[in-house]
Amino acid sequence: MLTKQSTYNSFTTISVVDYLKQQKYIHENSLVECEEIGDGNLNYVFRVKETETGRTLIVKQALPYAKVVGESWPLTLDRARIEGESLKLAAKFVPELVPGVYGTDDVAAATVMEDLSAYTLLRKGLIEGERYPNLAEHIGRFIAHTLFHTSDFGLEPSEKKVLATKFVNPELCKITEDLVFTDPFFDHETNEFPEELLPEVEALWNDDELKLEAAKLKQLFLTKSEALIHGDLHTGSIFVTRDSSKVIDPEFGFFGPIGFDVGAFFANLILNHLSQEARIEDEVKRDSFQDYLIQVIVETWEVFTAEFTKLWVENGKGPFIKVAGYLDYVLRQILQDAVGFAGNKIIRRTIGLAKVEDINGIEDKEKRLEVQRRALKTGRHLIVNRSQVSTVQNLIQLVKGD
């Protein structure tokens, strides 16, 4: 554990090195190289390398405001504590699937952790058409274990309630409540989209059936405190190699609906699936890669359900655990929630604040617009038809427009 810094000061490439030396992570006489590598909206991220030994550290520091907007959007620094504690808790269940945390400092809002330079950001790899044979197994296992072990299914109710008090995260929850569940469905100033998309967007804003279902999903997010969720499990929060995966950035963590993490991951795979229509010109290669993405969704759900079922049978809490049909009911509810939340995420990433490079990086404007139109249609399809989903194959049919 780091010695706590007495006051908060934003790090620079110079001061972060001084800080690490003060904390004895680097010898005070060592020569080091330091670079800022973060490109997120909420944090500074530095890579610090000790020249002589080649040892590297990552230092992540929360900013007191959102960079995407500026100092007019203040944010709590407590999210750094939440992130550090979330990673440590996940490491108890799936240590191989999160970066090692070497120390945290609540006052400095800083976490010192394992360097993942040998890894690729999953979003970048998928945009480039790379395949990761173990991805579905890793993420399915990650969500099953982290969500089961922090839920009423894996904890005594009193234990869960005590744990939940440590992850109260109102400011970052509000970001999700606004940007994912509210603003895209209304003519709000945070929305960003090309003028050519206005007819489709206005149709969405005037779609009472869609807005009713969106309201129900927001209510679920606000009230369904099932487990400690990651809260932002997109492909930009996962580092990968062919053989390994590491989930990062759980600063949005709080006790919410299990299906939200599942849906967030699915949504980002679907967005990439849609984007490949404009990225891979060869039809055979495109179809093959899109089939791979669909298979990742299917296998992730299959691994999740298999792992969740095993944990349920071996470690389930409460007198109803062994009641026939209860597990099936819970899994069906998680899947339906996930499908709806995936729709929310797809729409948000298409017309709301903070886009995804999968679609935004498409150079041909007309092709990009066509993908955006399909994304809005797909998002709506998932939201309004989620109650009809009972298997992952039903989800795939919705994605394919069947």
pLDDT digits (tens, 9 = 90+) for 92-103: 999 999 999 999
pLDDT band at 69, cuts 50/70/90?
Answer: low
Q: Are 6 and 108 spatial neighbours (Cβ–Cβ below 8 Å)?
A: no
Task: Write down the pLDDT at residue 6.
Answer: 65
Query: What share of the chain in percent tops pLDDT 70?
Result: 96
Arithmetic mean of pLDDT, 4-31:
90
Q: Rounded to whole angstroms, what are the CA distances from 269 to 80, 102, 206, 284, 363?
A: 27, 31, 28, 19, 20
Q: Are 130 and 122 spatial neighbours (Cβ–Cβ below 8 Å)?
A: no
Q: Rounded to whole angstroms, what are the CA distances from 268 to 89, 261, 263, 356, 368?
A: 25, 11, 9, 9, 16
Position with higher pLDDT, 66 vs 240: 240
In the predicted structure, residue 357 carries a pLDDT above the cut 90: yes
Cα angle: 342, vertex 153, 141; to 5 degrees: 55
Task: Write down the pLDDT at residue 72.
Answer: 65
Position with higher pLDDT, 41 vs 259: 259
Position with higher pLDDT, 74 vs 201: 201
In the predicted structure, residue 3 carries a pLDDT above the cut 70: no
The whole-angstrom separation of Cα 259 and Cα 226 is: 9
183-208: b (≥16 Cβ within 10 Å) or e: bbbeeeebbebeeebeebbeebeebe
The whole-angstrom separation of Cα 118 and Cα 240 is: 9
Task: Write down the pLDDT at residue 1.
Answer: 45
pLDDT digits (tens, 9 = 90+) for 116-128: 999 999 999 999 9
pLDDT band at 207, cuts 50/70/90?
Answer: very high
- The pTM assigned to this predicted structure is 0.95
pLDDT, averaged across the chain: 95
In the predicted structure, residue 169 carries a pLDDT above the cut 60: yes
pLDDT digits (tens, 9 = 90+) for 295-315: 999 999 999 999 999 999 999
Phi, psi of 131 (to 5 degrees): -115, 145
Task: Write down the pLDDT at residue 202.
Answer: 98
Q: How many helices (H) and strands (E) does the chain have?
A: 14, 12
In the predicted structure, residue 39 carries a pLDDT above the cut 80: no
Q: Are 136 and 296 spatial neighbours (Cβ–Cβ below 8 Å)?
A: yes
Domains of the chain: 15-113 (3.30.200.20), 120-399 (3.90.1200.10)
In the predicted structure, residue 402 carries a pLDDT above the cut 90: no
In the predicted structure, residue 2 carries a pLDDT above the cut 60: no
* Residue owning tokens 């509810």: 333
Chain centroid offset of residue 76 CA: 19
